[in-house]
Amino acid sequence: MIRLHKWKLLTVAFITNITIVISLAVGDVKNWGDIDWLDIVGEGGVCLLAALWLGFTLNSRPNGAVTNLLALGLGLIFVGTFQDLLDEIIAIDKGLFLNSGLESILMPTGLTVLTFGLYHWHKEQLVFSEQRRKREQVFREYRLQDGLTGLGDARFLRRQLSAALQRARHQQQPLALVLLDIDHFAATNQRFGHAEGDRLLQELAELILLNLRRTDLLCRYAGDRFAVVLPNTGELMAREITAQLSRAIEHFAYKTAQQGETVYQSISAGISIAEDDKVDALIERATTRLLQAKDKKNAHSVAA
Amino acid sequence: MTSKAHYEIDSACVQAHEFPAALIDLACSRGVDSHRLLRGTGIFLDDFLRGELTLRPAQCFALLSNIRKILPAAETAFLAGARLYPGNFGPASSALQSSGNLLQALNILVHYQAILSPLLSPRLEWHCDDLYIYWHDACGAGEHVAFLTDMMITALVNTSKTLAGRPLAWQFHLPGEPAHREQYEVHWGRRIHTHSHQYGMQISRSELAHPWPGAAVSVAQIARSQCDRLLQELPNVGFVALFDGYLRDQLADNPSLETAASEFGISPATLKRKLKKHHTSFQQRFDLVRKEQALFWLTREQLPLAEVATRLHFHDARNLRRAFKRWTGIIPSQLTSAITSAR
């Protein structure tokens, strides 16, 4: 963060220093007895919070126009509150601009710029939300996110699934859950290394997302197992979507990072359709079908 | 017993490029900053990469703490386990790789535990048609026992699958209801029994002698004798595992801190200190060993409660029931009903 936003931080620090120097030049430091400690705590706290907001904002954002607006707004607010704090310690003539004028200009300007920045941030967020739609639908919880693929994890799935089940029951619409498992993923890990396996999972997640509808939700269940929630989808449609996913993955020519070798994958899938039951039962049924499909495939390859 | 060389939490005995490498490798592949990973462990990346670094178990535990803090995801233990074998364990890796069947692989794991699994020690228990494998603290893993057990079981499941060329019909026992059931299901398989009050793996005896395609008799023999030579100079059992083993052997004689101390040739105060250094105590070890034994007698051998009480030197069944409740949180009758309903 420090390197990326070096100039913004330096500017804020520089201006803060100038206000200290000017205040000291035109005013006198108060005696201990004249200082109102309650004001110091109150205004100091506001100043500290403004600095914290500035820190959090810069720390979580890349460079760009929206970041500049947010930083400018928060920076102005910080300098304003800091000046407010300073004149609790340094006595400045009431008539001087520095005492009252500076703060009454800085604060409203800062707030206006911040509001403008927040508005653009909101526009920016809408763009990202649309992109992340098939990963989170209308619910976001960063603590339930899988660090590797950016998809929701199993707890996120359970939560979303239970909401989707309720909605499906309410609207009398079918709901399907598909569990996908990559065939021989352990062997791929063994052959190309686990870093390659991780990258493959990331790319497969993207590929699956591309093949889903706007209302569908993809989660990473665990390991190489993905879960897709398909609202308003009956058995036939779920089969069709699963077949599409399966074909897309079979045609995906993954290239390893080291040698650029091409690796083809296939998946096994288990579909379960909601029948007036609980989340766990639905997952359980899909797991059973998935493992049956896997066994069938293995028996086939042994026979062949 | 004391003549058998053992290692403690502060003995330099773990080759950094062997067991800890799986953890470091996992962290590096997830883009973890190496300074953050090795902070407070006393390990330097350059020394580690040179491949001649020997760690104390305490350093391994510090490394584990860091990894668990940086990668708190539920799958971390499973991923680390999947990377462990064949690994870079020298002749022990070759011995494992060239085993002719599951039984041989397990024997290698038990025999060369100090190399292949320095922090947890596997124990085999035979009963009727099945073999049970338990993983015990070897040298003071403390809060990391559950993480390490998940890791070691995953390592064994994966290796046996690779070497056999097909998934084996393992069954698993978990102490309670896991927070992330899906991880166990995907990485281990579906045959998971929860609320077993201890961690364990179970496999049918018929699977043990089934020949594996990668078997190489002479390679295995040479690798084994190389390992034997290595272990002649190195301690081959962790202090906590050694102590548990002593308690298990002496259960019939109702061991105490004093008798144990004299058996180990040290004063009771020194033994107490030594156990404390390993984040445990005599009572904790004794309770654990008795709990495991009681579970075995009650669930597998179906012995009556009074008989178990006598064998464990409890005054009567009521006292055992109270102790059992303290060990497991339930009374023995709930246990047997839970087990039978699971069948």
Tens digits of residue pLDDT in B2-20? 445 899 999 998 988 899 9
The percentage of chain B sitting over the pLDDT mark of 70, rounded to a whole number, equals 97
Of B75, B161, B162, which has the smallest distance from its Cβ to A223's Cβ? B75
Exposure of B199 by Cβ count < 10 A (0-12 exposed, 13-18 middle, 19+ buried)?
buried
Same domain, B67 and B215: yes
Beta bridge mates, A86? none
Token output for A190: 């063994």
| A299 has a chain B CB within 8 A of its CB | no
pLDDT score, position B117: 94
DSSP H or E stretch at residue B54? strand B54-55
Interface of B with A in 18-57 (CB under 8 A): 25-26, 29-30
Domain span(s) for CATH 3.30.70.270 in chain A: 136-303
pLDDT score, position B1: 41
- Angle, nearest 10°, between helix axes A6-26 and A65-89? 20
DSSP H or E stretch at residue B127? strand B120-127
The percentage of chain A sitting over the pLDDT mark of 90, rounded to a whole number, equals 43
Same domain, B165 and B26: yes
The whole-angstrom distance between A167's CA and the closest CA on chain B is 25
Residue A123 has pLDDT above 90, yes or no: no
| B68 has a chain A CB within 8 A of its CB | no
> Which of these ranges, A91-100, A274-283, B38-47, B63-72, has the smallest mean pLDDT?
A91-100
| CATH number, residue B276 | 1.10.10.60
Residue B341 has pLDDT above 50, yes or no: no
Backbone angles phi, psi at A295, to 5 degrees: -60, -45
Taking residues B100-127, what's their average pLDDT? Answer: 94
pLDDT score, position A96: 67
Taking residues A66-86, what's their average pLDDT? Answer: 89
Same domain, B223 and B338: no
Backbone angles phi, psi at A200, to 5 degrees: -60, -45
pLDDT band at A93 (very low <50, low <70, confident <90, very high): confident
Residue B101 has pLDDT above 90, yes or no: yes
pLDDT score, position B163: 92
pLDDT score, position B336: 59
Taking residues A67-75, what's their average pLDDT? Answer: 91
CB contact under 8 A, A195 and B29: yes
Q: How many cross-chain Cβ pairs, A to B, lie less than 8 Å apart?
A: 49
Alpha carbon distance A8, A63 (integer Å): 10
Same domain, B218 and B262: no
Token output for B295: 């579970």
pLDDT score, position B249: 94
Same domain, B202 and B95: yes
pLDDT score, position A218: 94
Interface of B with A in 136-195 (CB under 8 A): 158, 161-162, 166, 180, 182-183, 185-187, 190
Mean pLDDT of chain B: 90
Residue type, A61: R
Alpha carbon distance A69, A35 (integer Å): 35
Same domain, B225 and B284: no
Asked whether A233 and A271 are in contact (CB, 8 A), the reply is no
Label residue A209 left, alpha or beta by phi (over 0 means left) and psi (-120 to 50 means alpha): alpha
Concatenated DSSP letters of B136-204: EESS--GGGHHHHHHHHHHHHHHHHHHHHTS----EEE-SS--TTHHHHHHHH-S-EE---SS-EEEEE
| A224 has a chain B CB within 8 A of its CB | yes
The whole-angstrom distance between B183's CA and the closest CA on chain A is 5
Question: What is the number of domains present in chain B?
Answer: 2
Distance from the Cα of residue B314 to its chain's centroid: 28
Same domain, B263 and B294: yes
Tens of pLDDT, residue by residue over A134-155, are: 777 766 676 777 888 889 989 9
Residue A297 has pLDDT above 50, yes or no: yes
Same domain, B216 and B273: no
Alpha carbon distance A252, B53 (integer Å): 43
End residue of a domain, out of B183, B201, B233: B233
Taking residues B182-191, what's their average pLDDT? Answer: 92
Alpha carbon distance B328, B288 (integer Å): 10
Interface ipTM: 0.76
Same domain, B193 and B331: no
Domain assignment present for residue B239? The answer is no
- Angle, nearest 10°, between helix axes B268-277 and B257-264? 90
Please choose, from the candidates B98, B115, B106, B116, the residue with its C-alpha nearest in 3D space to the C-alpha of residue B221: B98
Residues of A in contact with B166 (CB under 8 A): 298
pLDDT band at B268 (very low <50, low <70, confident <90, very high): very high
SS3 B321: helix
Q: Spell out the SS3 assignment of B210-259.
A: CCCCCCCHHHHHHHHHHHHHHHHHCCCEEHHHHHHHHHHHHHHHCCCHHH
pLDDT score, position B339: 53
Residues of A in contact with B182 (CB under 8 A): 154, 221-222, 225
pLDDT score, position A195: 86
Residue of A nearest to B31 (CA): A195
pLDDT score, position A303: 56
Residues of B in contact with A181 (CB under 8 A): 186
N residues, chain A: 304
> Which of these ranges, A81-95, A150-164, B17-31, B311-325, has the smallest mean pLDDT?
A81-95
CB contact under 8 A, A186 and B30: no
Taking residues B208-230, what's their average pLDDT? Answer: 89
Residue B340 has pLDDT above 50, yes or no: no
The CATH code belonging to domain A136-303 is: 3.30.70.270
CB contact under 8 A, A154 and B190: no
Q: Say if strands A28-29 and A254-255 run parallel, antiparallel, or are unpaired.
A: unpaired
Distance from the Cα of residue B326 to its chain's centroid: 23
Tens of pLDDT, residue by residue over A34-52, are: 778 888 898 899 999 999 9
Concatenated DSSP letters of chain A: -TTTTHHHHHHHHHHHHHHHHHHHHHSEEPPGGG--HHHHHHHHHHHHHHHHHHHHHHHT--SSHHHHHHHHHHHHHHHHHHHHHHHHHEE--TTSHHHHHHHHHHHHHHHHHHHHHHHHHHHHHHHHHHHTHHHHTT---GGGB-TTTSSB-HHHHHHHHHHHHHHHHHHT--EEEEEEEETTHHHHHHHH-HHHHHHHHHHHHHHHHHTS-TT-EEEEEETTEEEEEEET--HHHHHHHHHHHHHHHHT--EE-TTT--EE---EEEEEEE--S--HHHHHHHHHHHHHHHHHHHHHHHHH-
Residues of A in contact with B183 (CB under 8 A): 154, 222-223
pLDDT score, position A265: 92
pLDDT score, position A176: 95
Residue B141 has pLDDT above 90, yes or no: yes
Same domain, B137 and B172: yes
CB contact under 8 A, A298 and B78: no
Residues of B in contact with A147 (CB under 8 A): 30, 71, 73
pLDDT band at B131 (very low <50, low <70, confident <90, very high): very high
| B125 has a chain A CB within 8 A of its CB | no
CB contact under 8 A, A223 and B29: no
What is the domain range of residue B183?
A: 6-233
Residue A3 has pLDDT above 80, yes or no: no
| CATH number, residue B46 | 3.90.1520
Same domain, B59 and B153: yes
pLDDT score, position A270: 95
The percentage of chain A sitting over the pLDDT mark of 70, rounded to a whole number, equals 94
pLDDT score, position A136: 74
| B78 has a chain A CB within 8 A of its CB | yes
pLDDT score, position B2: 42
Q: How many other C-beta atoms are found inside a 10 Å radius of the C-beta of residue A142?
A: 5
Residue B98 has pLDDT above 70, yes or no: yes
